[in-house]
Structure 1
Amino acid sequence: MITKKNRYALLFGFGALLLILSFLVRTTLLIWAYPQSGLTISDIPGIYLKGLVYDIGVALFFTLGYSIYLLILPARLNNSVFNKVFTYTAVFLATMILVFSFFAEFTFWGEYSARFDFIAVDYLIYTYEVISNINQSYPLPLLIGGVIIVTALLVWGLNRLGFFRSSFQSKTPFGTRLLITVCLLGIAVLHIFYINNMWAEKSSNRYAQELSKAGVYSFVSAYLNNELAYDKYYLQENEQAAFSLMRSELTEANSTFSQNNNSLLRQITDTATRIAPNVIMVTIESFSADFMERFGNTQRITPVLDSIAKQSVFFTNMYATGTRTVRGMEALSLAVPPTPGQSIVRRKKNESLFTVGYIFKRAGYEPTFFYGGDGYFDNMNKYFGNNGYDIMDRLRHNLVDDHITTVRKNIPDEAVQFENAWGICDEDIYEAVIKSADQKYADGKPFYDFVMTTSNHRPFTYPEKKIDIPSGSSREGAVKYTDYAIGEFIKKAATKPWFKNTVIIFVADHCASSAGKNEIEISKYHIPCMIYNLPSTAPQEVDKMCSQIDLYPTLLNLLHWSYDSKLFGKNVLAADYQPRAMVSTYQKLGYLVPGKFIILSPQQKAECYTWDAQKNEQHPAPMDSSLLKISVANYQTAYTLYKNDGMKQ
C-alpha cells in the first residue's frame, strides 16, 4: 500500500511495472535461447545491465507525455472526474500496448530469434497479411482476450497498491512537479544522445546483442533507421579509387568497360553460338541448404530437389545476400551487393533500373513476375511493374491504380485450390506459370519468369493429403510440400511443347533462419541453387563460393550471350573467378572469401575474422587491408550508383 501522496506516484509505479515485466521477458528469452546461444555465465550480467538501460529509456518515453500533463494540470482538477477518467484510460491503454508488445516479442523471437527490427516495422505496414498469418498460426481471440485480461489485472494491481489514490489526492506543489519533469526530460535527452541500439551490438555474440535490447526500443530504432546512408556511417575509399578497383574486380576476358570511370557499364561479348531458351526462375521462400539430403539432412523432406540437383548445374556453395525475401529479390533481379537499410525493392527511385529482366527484354523476351500473394506487400508490384515486368498475383487490395506501368493480372478464385495468409499454395502458382507459358508459346513469344513461392512460410499450411505430414504442423511439413509441388510442376511442364526449350532455375530467396551465436552467422546464409534443363550442358556441381548476384552472369555465359551489363555478379565458371560472397543484416555488411570474413558496420567500423566452414567457427583476426579495400569498394560503389541513378537503364 502506497501511503505517501505524490502526483507522480502513478507515473513511477507504471515505470516500475514496465521494468519488472521487461526483466521477466528478458529472463524468459534468455532461458529459451541459452542452450543454442553459445553464451557463458559471464555474459549474463552485461545483458541485464544493458537491458536495464534500454528499459529505463522505454519507461521514460512511455511516461514523458504524462509527466508534462501532471505538470500543467491545475491542482483543482487533480481529484476531478475528468482527471480520473483520463488517467485510468491512459494507463489502461499504455499497459495494453506494453502487454501486447511483450506477447508479440515471444512470437517474433520464436520465428527470428531477435528483438523487433525492420521485419516488425514491415509487419505494422502490411496489416492484412500479418493479422491473417497470426490468426492462422495462433488462437487470435484467445490472445486478444488474454492481453485484455492481463492488462486489467495489472491496472487493478496498481490501483490496489494505492498508486492511483496517491496521485489523485496529492497536493504536490508546482515547483516540485517542475523539478521532477525537468529531471525526467533531462534523462530522456541524455538517453537519446548517448544510447542507441548499436551499443547492444558491441558484443560479438548475436544472442547477447538481441537479449540486451528492449523490444519497443528496437522497434522505434528500426523505424527511424529504415535506410542508412553508406557515405555517412560506413568506411569509404576515394571514390575514383573505389570504382577503379571494382572495374578491375569485374574485368573478364570478354568484357569491355565504358569510358565513364564512375560506371560499371560494360559490354560482354561471346563469340560462340547463342542459345535462347525460355527461362523460369522459381525463387523458393525461406529455403535453407541444410533442408536437403545433399547437405546432410536425414529427414527425407526434399527428394525431388535432391533428384533435380543431380540433373542440373548445381551451385553447392552459394550464399544469400540477406535474410528477407525483398533482399533476395534485389540480389536476383539486380545482381548488386546489399546496401544498408532496406532493400532497393522497398525504396524510392527504384524504377527503370538495369535489371536482369531488362537484359531479357532487350533480347525480345516478355518478363513476368508471379507471386502467390498480393504483390502490394513489400512494394513488390511497384518494383517489378515499374521495371518492365508484367505482374501475375492474387489481388486483395482494392487499389484501382497501383502506379504500375505494365500489365497486372489477377489469379482468379476458380484457379485456387488452397490459400492462407500469405497467398495461394505453390501448386496453384505453378499452374498459373504453366498457363502463361502455354499462351506465350502459342503466341510465339519467348518468356522470362520470376516466380516467388509462399508455402514455406508460417503458418506452414498447405493442401491436405498431398504429403505424409499434416498441414500446419511444422516447418518440415512446409518444406516437404514445397518439394512435392516442385515435383508436380516439373511433371506437368515436361508434357508441354515449350519445355524442351525452357531452363528452370530453383534458388532460395534466403534461409529459414539467420539466428546464430555470431552477429552474422555465415552458415545461415547458405542456400541451394540449381539450373535445370539447360540445353547442351552436362550436369555438374559448382563448389566455388559464390553469391546470389552471380547466378545470371553465370547463366548468360552458359547461354553464350553478348549483352550490356551493370551487374556486380561474376561468371562463377570462369577460369580466373575468385570465390567470394556478400552476406548482410540491415546494418552489418559482410564480405566473405574462403577462410576470411570482413564485417563493415556503422560509425566507420570494420572487423576481420577467420572462418572455418567445416566447423562453422568465426574468430577475430588482424585486419586484412587488401580484403578490406575490396569489401568497401563493393558496398560503396553499389550505394553510390543507386544514389546517383547509376543503376538506371
Structure 2
Amino acid sequence: MMLFEKKSPYKQLLNLFLLSSFVLRIVLLFHPITTTSFSWAEIIKIFLTGFLTDFFVFITASSLIWLYLLFLSESKYTKPWGYIIFGGFLSLLIYVACFNTILNEYGGVLPEIGIGFVALKTTFFGLMLFLPKYRKHIRIALFSIAIFIITLIIIQNSISEFFFWNEFGVRYNFIAVDYLVYTNEVIKNIMESYPIIPLFIGVGIITAFFTYKIVKKSMPFLEKLPSFQEKIKSTVGYIALFALATFLVPVLAKQETSTNVFTNELQANGLYRFFLAFRNSELDYNKFYKTLPDNEAFTLLNQQLEIESNATSTQIIKGRTTEIKKNVVLITIESLSADFMKMYGNELNVTPFLDSLATKSTVFSNLYAVGNRTIRGLEAVTLCLPPSPGESIVKRKDNKNKFSTGSVFKEKGYSVKYLYGGDAYFDNMEDFFGGNGYDIVDKKTFKPEEITFDNVWGVCDEDMAKKAIQTMNAEAKTGKPFFNHWMTVSNHRPFTYPAGKIDIPNDAKSREGGVKYTDYALKQFFKMAQKQAWYNHTVFVIIADHCASSAGKTELPMDKYRIPAMIFEPGKEASINPILMSQIDIMPTLLGRLGFNYKSKFYGQDVYHPSYKPRAFIATYQDLGFIRNNILTILSPKQKVKQFDLSLQPSKLPVAFQLYYDEKPKNTIDPTLVNQTIGFYQTTATLLKNKRYQKK
C-alpha cells in the first residue's frame, strides 16, 4: 500500500505521531501530579492499548494528509488539464474576491482567509504550470512547508497535552473545548504564564529537525509520484483502514476500566478525548445516566426537601428569625483550595488575612465545591442546585430568567450587581448574570486611571476592591439595601500582581503568590469597607469557586473539592459549623440567617434548619457525585454507578478540618444512596429541561 511504504511521507508522519505519543506517556507517567503507583499489568495496558489507540486515531485524524498526498501529481499539469484546472482556480479567486460568498455571511476574517488561501493556491499552481523547469523545486518547497505545518501540529499537540496535564491532571476534556472558544484569553494566559520565547524556539528546532528528516526520507516518493492505478489501490486500502479505525477507537476507549483514574487517562489518546468532549458538550441525563421513573425521583426529592407539590422543587421558606434587610457582599475567590488556609494545616502563611477573619466569622469547615471550574462555582452560589452533566448552565443558551439568589434579593427590594475584574464576556458570565437581573460591573466600566495593574484575566484584585467600594458607596446613597457578588481574578495563572505588595516577588508566577496577593487585596477591601457608613449593616460571605487542582487517583478525589467558606457579620460572635454541606447551601443558609420568608426553588438548604440532612455534591462535567453517611456515590455516563467508602486518613488536625480520605470501592452497592443520588440529579435535569426552574 503506497501510504505505508518506507519512503512514504504518510508513514513518516505516522511514526512521528506514535513516537510523540509514546514519549508523552512516559513524561506524564512520571509527572509530579500523577500521584499514584502502577502495577506491571497496568503499565503494559497503558502502553499497549495506548499504542493501538494512537495508531487508529492517526488514521482517522489524517484524512486531509492522505488527500494532500493523493493529489500530488505530475499529470495534472499536462495539456489541456493544467489550463482547465488553472482556469478553474482563477475563476474561483475572482468569485471569492469580488462577489458575496458564504464566507462573507459568516463575516470576521473568514473572507480574507478564504481569498488568501485561493490566491496562494492559484499562484503556486500557475508557477508550476508555466515554469516546468522549476516545478520540482517549487514542489519540494511547498511539500516541505506542508510537512513542517503537520509536524508542528503533532509536536505542539504533545506540548499542549503536557501543559493541560500540568494544570488539570487529565487528558483533554470539556475544558479544552472551552479553550477553543476563548482563544484570546487562553493564548494571553499562556504568554504570561510560561517562558514562551525559549518554548517556541525549542518547538521550532524540534519541528525543523523532524521536517528535515521526513522530507529527506520522502525524496524518492517525490521524485517518482505514485501512478493513478497505485493511488486507486491506496485509496481502497485507506478507506478500509479508516472504517476499521472508526470502529476500533471507541472499542479501545471502552477498555479504560481501571479503578485508578490515572491509568485510564494515560491509556487514552488526547485527540480522541477532545473529540468526545466536543461531541458531548451537553449530556442528556436521561440518555446517558441511570434513571428512575420521574414520579419516584420526585418522591425521593420530596423526602429531602419540604416540597410544596410534586414534579417541582418549590418550597415555602420561613425565616428562623425576624427578617433583617442587611446589605450582603458575596465574595467568590478564584481557586482557593481549603488546604491553603492555616486552619486546614497549611504552614506557608499565604492567607494571613483570611485566617484572621475566620476567627471572627461563622466558618463552615466541611463544605465542598460542586465542580472544578469557576462557572460551576458561580452556578452553585447563584442558582443553588446540583451540577448538571455537560456544559454549565452559565454557558447554555437557556441560562436566563432562572430562580436565583439575585431574584430573591430583588424581590426583597435590593439592588443586585455582579462585579468582575475581567471582561464578563468570558465564560458567558455577562450573558448569564445580565439575563438573570444582575447589573454588571466589569473591566469595561473602569476608567484608565482606575487601573494600576492588569493581566490577561483583568484588573488586579486591589483595583477591583476599590471599584467595589465606590459601587457600594453609590448604592448606599440610594437608601436601598444591596447585594453584590464579587468574583476575584488574581489567584489564577499566570499569578502576576503588583510589585511590593507581599513578600513573594510579583514575577515569581507561583500559585502561593497568587493566593497571598488575593488575601492581601481582600485585607485592603475590608480596611476600606470598615470606614464606610454601611459596613456595620452588611453581611460578608466569603467562599472559593473551586479548588486549585482537581487531579487525583479517583474520579472525584474528596480533598480536591474541599473549599473554605465563612460568613462574617460585624459584631457577631465567631463559631465553627462542621456539618457536611455543599456550595449550593451557602446562600440559602445566609438567607436563613437574615430571616427571609420566600418561596424557593433552591435545592440548596439552610444547614441550620432542623429538616436539613447532611450531604454534598461534587462533580466533573460527566461524573456526578453525592456524599452522604461517609459514602461517595458516583453516577457516570452509560448508566454506570460506583460507590466508595470514605475513611479519614490519620491527622493531627481537629476532625472538622481534616481533608484527606481513603476512597475504597464498595463491594456491595447501597441502593438507597444510589436512588437518592439519582433523585437529586435526575429531577434537576428534568426541571431545567422543562423550564420549571424559572423565576416567578
Q: Which residue of 1 aligns with 2:634?
A: 599
Q: What CA deviation, in whole Å up to 9, does each residue of 1:109-137 have, x standing for no partner?
A: 22222222222222221122212111111
Gaps of 5+ in 1: 252-256, 396-409
- 1:56-455 → structure 2 map (5 Å cutoff): 56-71=55-70, 76=75, 81=136, 84=140, 87-160=143-216, 162-166=217-221, 168-171=223-226, 173-174=229-230, 175-191=232-248, 194-196=251-253, 199-200=255-256, 202-251=257-306, 257-259=307-309, 261-270=310-319, 272-395=321-444, 410-455=445-490
User: Separation in 2 of the partners of 1:363 and 1:206?
Assistant: 47
Task: Label 1:168 to 1:610 Cα distance change in 2 as closer, same or farther (>3 A).
Answer: farther
Residues 6, 166 of structure 1: 8 Å contact kept: no
Report the alpha carbon displacement of residue 515 of structure 1 after superposing the two structures with TM.
1.1
Q: Which residue of 1 aligns with 2:661?
A: 616
So what's the TM-score if we normalise by structure 2? Answer: 0.86
5+ residue gaps in structure 2? Answer: 78-127, 129-134, 650-659
* Match among 482, 489, 501 for residue 537 of structure 2: 501
8 Å Cα contact 1:5/1:167 also seen in 2? no
1:530 pairs with 2:566: yes
Hey, what's the Cα distance between the residues in 1 that align with 2:68 and 2:168? 38
Equivalent residue number for residue 594 of structure 2: 559
Equivalence for 2:514: 478
One-letter code aligned to 1:637: T
**1:91 Cα deviation after fit:** 2.3
Residue-by-residue CA offset, 1:353-383 (whole Å, 9 max, x unaligned)? 1011010011111110001111111000000
Q: Supply the distance in 2 between the matched residues of 1:647 and 1:496 (Cα, whole angstroms).
A: 37
Match of 2:97 in 1: none
Q: Residue type of the partner of 2:539?
A: V
Using a 3 Å threshold, how does the CA distance of structure 1 residues 591 and 151 change in structure 2: closer, same or farther?
same
Distance between the aligned counterparts of 2:33 and 2:516, measured in 1? 29
Is this contact kept in 2: 1:597–1:609, CA < 8 A? Answer: yes
Deviation at 1:455? 0.7
Contact kept, 8 Å, 1:319 with 1:547, in 2: the verdict is yes
Shift of 1:238: 0.5
**Structure 2 partner of 1:632:** 678
Q: Deviations over 1:460-506 (max 9, x none)?
A: 11111111111142111111111111111111101100000011111
| Correspondence 1:532-551 to 2 at 5 A | 532-533=568-569, 537-551=572-586
Amino acid at match of 2:669: M
**CA-CA distance at 1:315 after TM superposition:** 0.3
Deviation of 1:350 (Å): 0.6
Contact kept, 8 Å, 2:5 with 2:11, in 1: the verdict is: no
Q: Distance in 2 between matches of 1:321 and 1:527?
A: 10
Structure 2 residue aligned with 1:648:
694
Q: Deviations over 1:184-206 (max 9, x none)?
A: 2222321355344x643x22222
**Secondary structure of 2:171's aligned partner:** coil
Q: Taking structure 1 as the reference length, what is the TM-score of the superposition?
A: 0.92
Cα shift readout 1:249-289 (whole Å, capped 9, x = no counterpart): 112xxxxx444x21111211237311111000110000000
Which residue is equivalent to 1:516?
552
Aligned with residue 618 of structure 2, among 573, 580, 583 = 583
Q: State the Cα deviation string for residues 120-159 of structure 1 (Å, max 9, x = none).
A: 2222211222121111112323333333332221110112
Residues of 1 paired with 2:258 and 2:448: CA distance? 50
Aligned partner of 2:18: which letter? L
Kindly tell me: are residues 467 and 352 of structure 1, through their superposed partners in 2, closer, same or farther at Cα, counting changes over 3 Å? same
- Percent identity between matched residues is 39
Look up the equivalent residue of 2:567 and give its one-letter code: I
Distance 1:73 1:320 in 2: 55
* 1:492 counterpart (513, 528, 532): 528
1:41-76: CA deviation from partner (whole Å, max 9, x where unpaired): 432111112321331133113322333454566573
Within 2, Cα distance between the matches of 1:624 and 1:6? 56
Cα distance 1:534–1:599, how it changes in 2: closer, same or farther (>3 A)?
farther
- Sort the Cα spacing of 1:470 and 1:41 in 2 relative to 1 into closer, same or farther, 3 A: farther
The code of the aligned residue for 2:161 comes to E
The Cα of 1:342 is off from its aligned counterpart by 1.2
What code does the residue aligned with 1:122 have?
D
Return the alpha-carbon distance in structure 2 between the equivalents of residues 417 and 227 of structure 1: 40
Residues 1:411 and 1:630: Cα distance change in structure 2 (over 3 Å):
same
Q: Distance in 1 between matches of 2:675 and 2:553?
A: 27
Return the letter of the residue paired with 1:620: P
Task: For 2:334 and 2:565, locate their aligned partners in 1 and report how far apart those are by CA, in whole Å.
Answer: 13
Contact 1:237 1:632 in 2 (8 A): yes
Structure 2 SS opposite 1:37: coil
| Kept in 2: contact 1:22–1:55 (CA 8 A) | yes
Structure 1 position 97, deviation (Å):
1.1
Q: Partner letter of residue 286 of structure 1?
A: S
Aligned residues: 623
Instruction: Give yes or no for contact 1:507–1:528 (8 Å, CA) kept in 2.
Output: yes
Q: Tell me by how many angstroms 1:86 deviates.
A: 5.2
* SS of structure 2 residue aligned to 1:463: coil
Aligned counterparts of 2:149 and 2:379: Cα–Cα separation in 1: 40
1:335 Cα deviation after fit: 0.5
Tell me by how many angstroms 1:425 deviates: 1.0
Separation in 2, partners of 1:87, 1:68: 13
The AA in structure 1 aligned to 2:661 is N
CA–CA distance in structure 2, aligned partners of residues 271 and 490 of structure 1: 28
Contact 1:7–1:170, Cα closer than 8 Å, also in 2? no
Deviation at 1:165, TM superposition (A): 2.3
Alignment check: 8 A CA contact 2:361 2:568 kept: yes
Once the two structures are TM-superposed, the CA of residue 637 in structure 1 deviates from its matched residue by 0.7
Deviates most, 469-478 or 445-454: 469-478
- C-alpha deviation, 1:234, in angstroms: 0.1
Measure the CA separation in 2 of the matches of 1:316 and 1:517: 24
Q: Cα gap change, 1:34/1:142 in structure 2, threshold over 3 Å: closer, same or farther?
A: closer
Tell me whether 355-364 or 107-116 shows the greater mean CA deviation: 107-116
